[in-house]
Amino acid sequence: MDASQPESATWQGQKVLITGGAGFIGSNLAIRATELGADVTIIDSLIPEYGGCLYNLETIKDKIRINLSDIRDDFSLRPLIENVDILFNLAGQTSHMDSMKDPHTDLTINCMAQLNLLETCRQFNPNIRIIFASTRQIYGKPTYLPVDENHNINPVDINGIHKYAAELYYGLYGKVHGIRTCILRLTNTIGPRMRIKDARQTFVGIWIRQLLEGQPIEVWGGEQLRDFNDVEDVVQAMLIAAQSSDCFGKIFNLGSEEKVSLLQLANMLQELNGGGDINIMTYPPERKKIDIGDYYSSFERFRTMTGWEPARSLGETLRRTLVYYSDHLSYYI
Amino acid sequence: MDASQPESATWQGQKVLITGGAGFIGSNLAIRATELGADVTIIDSLIPEYGGCLYNLETIKDKIRINLSDIRDDFSLRPLIENVDILFNLAGQTSHMDSMKDPHTDLTINCMAQLNLLETCRQFNPNIRIIFASTRQIYGKPTYLPVDENHNINPVDINGIHKYAAELYYGLYGKVHGIRTCILRLTNTIGPRMRIKDARQTFVGIWIRQLLEGQPIEVWGGEQLRDFNDVEDVVQAMLIAAQSSDCFGKIFNLGSEEKVSLLQLANMLQELNGGGDINIMTYPPERKKIDIGDYYSSFERFRTMTGWEPARSLGETLRRTLVYYSDHLSYYI
- Please list the alpha-helical segments (H only) found in B14-157: 24-35, 74-81, 96-101, 103-107, 113-124
Asked if B107 and A104 come within 8 Å (Cβ–Cβ), the reply is no
Strongest mean pLDDT among A5-19, A62-76, B27-41, B211-225: B27-41
Percentage of chain A lying above the pLDDT 70 cut:
97
Mean pLDDT value across residues B267-287? 88
Residues of chain A with Cβ-Cβ distance to B168 below 8 Å are: 155, 161, 164
- Range name among A264-268, A312-316, B120-124, B221-225 with the lowest pLDDT average: B221-225
Please give the model's pTM, rounded to 2 decimal places.
Answer: 0.91
Identify the contact set of chain B against chain A, taking CB-CB distances under 8 A.
100, 103-104, 107, 111-112, 115-116, 119, 153, 155-158, 161-162, 164-165, 168-169, 172, 175-176, 289-290
Q: How close is the nearest chain B Cα to the Cα of A13, in Å?
A: 34
Interface ipTM: 0.88
Q: Domain A8-194+227-257+296-312: what homologous superfamily?
A: NAD(P)-binding Rossmann-like Domain (3.40.50.720)
Whether B176 shows a pLDDT value over 80: the answer reads yes
A290 confidence band (pLDDT: 50, 70, 90): low
Nearest to A111 among B111, B175, B176 (CB): B111
Rounded to an integer, what distance in angstroms lies between the CA atom of residue A188 and that of residue A297?
10
Give yes or no for residue A268 having a pLDDT over 90: yes
| Cβ–Cβ below 8 Å for A168 and B176 | no
**Residue A103: enclosing H or E segment and its boundaries?**
helix A103-107
pLDDT at A285: 75
Supply the pLDDT for residue B1. 40
Provide mean pLDDT across the span A241-268: 96
Closest C-alpha to A283, from A224, A202, A226, A196: A224
Give how far B247 is from chain A: nearest CA, Å. 20
- Chain B positions in Cβ-Cβ contact with residue A156 (cut-off 8 Å): 172
Res B40: pLDDT = 98
pLDDT of amino acid A289? 65
Q: Is B172's CB within 8 Å of A153's CB?
A: no
DSSP reduced 3-state for A147: strand
Nearest CA in chain A to B286: A176
In this predicted structure, the answer to whether residue B318 has a pLDDT above a threshold of 50 is: yes
pLDDT band at A283 (very low <50, low <70, confident <90, very high): confident
**Percent of chain A topping pLDDT 90:** 87
Nearest to B53, CA basis, from B84, B28, B77, B36 = B28
Confidence of residue A294 (pLDDT cuts 50, 70, 90): very high
Residue-level pLDDT at B220 = 86
Interchain contact, B165 vs A169, CB within 8 Å: no
How much is the pLDDT for A318?
98
Q: Do A112 and B115 touch (CB under 8 A)?
A: no
| pLDDT of A126 strictly over 90 | yes
| A117, A121, A176: best to mutate for the B interface, most B CBs within 10 A | A176
Q: Rounded CA gap, B22 and B56, in Å?
A: 6
Q: What is the DSSP letter of B297?
A: B
A214 Cβ partners below 8 Å, 6+ apart?
A276
State how far the Cα of A283 lies from the Cα of A300, in Å rounded to an integer: 33
Residue of chain A minimizing CA distance to B291: A176
Mean per-residue pLDDT of chain B: 94
CA atoms within 13 A on the CB side of B50: 23
A17-21, A217-221, A307-311, B320-324: least confident range: A217-221
What is the pLDDT at residue A221?
84
Which residue in B105, B107, B108, B292 has the most chain A C-beta atoms within 10 A of its own C-beta, making it the best mutation to test that interface? Answer: B107
Can you tell me the distance from the alpha carbon of A142 to that of B155, in angstroms, rounded to the nearest whole number? 23
Using the predicted structure, report yes or no on whether residue A165 has a pLDDT greater than 90. yes
Residue A20 or residue A6, greater confidence: A20
List chain B domain ranges: 8-194+228-258+296-312
Average pLDDT over residues A279-292: 77
What pLDDT score was predicted for residue B133?
Answer: 97
- Phi, psi of B134, rounded to the nearest 5 degrees: -105, -165
Average pLDDT over residues B281-285: 80
Pick among B111, B120, B122, B177 to test the A interface (most A CBs inside 10 A): B111
At residue A8, the pLDDT reads 78
CB contact under 8 Å between B169 and A162, yes or no, is no
Q: What is the pLDDT of residues A187-218, one digit of tens each?
A: 999 999 999 998 888 899 999 999 999 999 99
- Specify the pLDDT at position B74: 83
Amino acid code (one letter) for B110: N
pLDDT 10s digits, A228-254 = 999 999 999 999 999 999 999 999 999
Are B172 and A164 an interchain contact pair (Cβ–Cβ within 8 Å)?
A: no
Residue B2 confidence (pLDDT) above 50: no
For residues B222 and B263, the answer to whether their CB atoms sit within 8 Å is: yes
Give B285's pLDDT tier (boundaries 50, 70, 90). confident
Residue B170 CB contacts under 8 Å (≥ 6 apart), including other chains: B114, B118, B130, B132, B181, B183
pLDDT digits (tens, 9 = 90+) for B179-204: 999 999 999 999 999 999 988 888 99
Contact check, Cβ <8 Å, A158/B172? yes
pLDDT of B41 reads 98
Share of chain B above pLDDT 70, in %: 97
Looking at CA atoms only, how far is residue A168 from chain B in angstroms?
7
Q: Write the CA distances from A150 to A104, A146, A251, A298, B141, integer angstroms.
A: 29, 11, 10, 10, 18
Residue A1: per-residue pLDDT = 40
Q: Give me the residue from B100, B116, B164 closest to A104, CB to CB.
A: B116
A111 with B289: Cβ contact below 8 A: no
**Hey, what CATH topology would domain B8-194+228-258+296-312 get?**
Rossmann fold (3.40.50)
Q: Compute the average pLDDT of residues B110-120.
A: 96
pLDDT band for A220, please (50, 70, 90 cuts): confident
The answer to whether residue A2 scores a pLDDT higher than 50 is: no
What is the mean predicted confidence (pLDDT) over A27-49? Answer: 96
Q: Is the pLDDT of residue A305 over 80?
A: yes
Integer Cα distance of A180 and A190 in angstroms: 28
Nearest-CA residue of chain A relative to B151? A152
Q: Which residues contact B94 (CB under 8 A, 6 or more apart)?
A: B50, B51, B135, B159, B200, B201
Look at residue B289 in the predicted model and tell me its pLDDT. 65
Rounded to an integer, the average pLDDT of B115-127 is 97
Mean pLDDT of the region B93-110: 94
Q: Which pLDDT does position A7 carry in this prediction?
A: 66
Q: Which residue has the higher pLDDT, B50 or A288?
A: B50
Q: Is the pLDDT of residue B70 over 70?
A: yes
Shortest CA gap B238–chain A (Å): 25
